Amino acid sequence: MVLNKKTGIPLYYQLKEIILGEIKKGTWRVGEQIPTEIDFVDQYKISRATVRQAVLELVRDGILVRDKGKGTFVSAPKFRTDFTVNFCYPEQFGDKHKVLSAKTISPSESIAERLSLTSTELIYKIVRLRYFNDEPVAIETLFIPEKKFPGLLDKDLKIRIFDILAENYNVNILKFETTIEPVTLTYKESKILEVSKEKPALLVEKNCLDITGRPYLIAKGLFRGDRCKLFFETK
């Protein structure tokens, strides 16, 4: 595969998708080393910083693991259990959002697959900063199919996204497939959240479905570790 430098999709993100695709195909299996940063630089004619960002995000996602002095390897799949997880926002924290960016883009292969879209269909990518008591606490990234919600970017994106979908499109999200991982904030993320860099955080990723199981959106929330708490319930 090649990188397309003429699209609006960042090069690091394209490389990340390529690496994911190769892992899915079995090019690199669990425990095997992937090419070095220099190998990727030479193959795709991109900067080392671009490669490093793609690899670091995959490490943070648990797909890759770095062994200092040895290289980067494909990680073993993470353990999943049947906990019911409630990730709630206390009412006193309010519901304030600041829109950092909102645009229409072509989805990556993995996002298109998860939203049951073809490669030619477009999505909205909305990035918002979540506030609790006027303090920035989470960076929220939403991926939403354009065809299902025409004109969404013209709505007031500072309010709850589920309220927008219910009131304007008669869509109610009733099911969630949620993953939660501990991560470390990047320099850019720490600046947005106004904390020192490399602080711990929680990455909460949700596939949001209707009652029939149809996917409507993907929501990724990056929460400051000092401002969130999880409640687990077993059934």
Predicted confidence pLDDT, tens digits, the chain (235 residues):
678 877 777 888 889 989 988 998 889 988 899 999 999 999 999 999 999 989 988 887 778 988 878 899 998 765 444 444 545 444 444 567 899 999 999 988 888 888 989 878 999 999 999 988 788 989 999 999 999 999 999 999 998 898 899 899 988 887 888 888 888 888 889 999 998 877 888 888 888 887 777 788 999 999 888 776 665 554 4
Q: Same structural domain for residues 96 and 59?
A: no
Per-residue DSSP letter, 226 = G
pLDDT (0 to 100) of residue 36: 93
224 has which bridge partners?
A: 201
Q: Same structural domain for residues 104 and 169?
A: yes
Retrieve residue 204's tokens.
């909460």
Q: Same structural domain for residues 55 and 98?
A: no
SS3 label, residue 162: helix
Boundary residue ending a domain (46, 74, 102):
74
Q: Same structural domain for residues 40 and 95?
A: no
Q: Same structural domain for residues 201 and 99?
A: yes
- 165: which residues sit within 8 A by CB, 6+ positions away? 149, 171, 172, 173, 216, 217
**What span, in angstroms and rounded, lies between the C-alpha atoms of 145 and 114?**
11
Q: Which domain holds residue 32?
A: 11-74
Q: Same structural domain for residues 203 and 152?
A: yes
CATH number (domain holding residue 44): 1.10.10.10
Count of structural domains within the chain: 2
Is 3 domain-assigned?
no
Instruction: Evaluate whether 222 touches 138 at the Cβ level (below 8 Å).
Output: yes
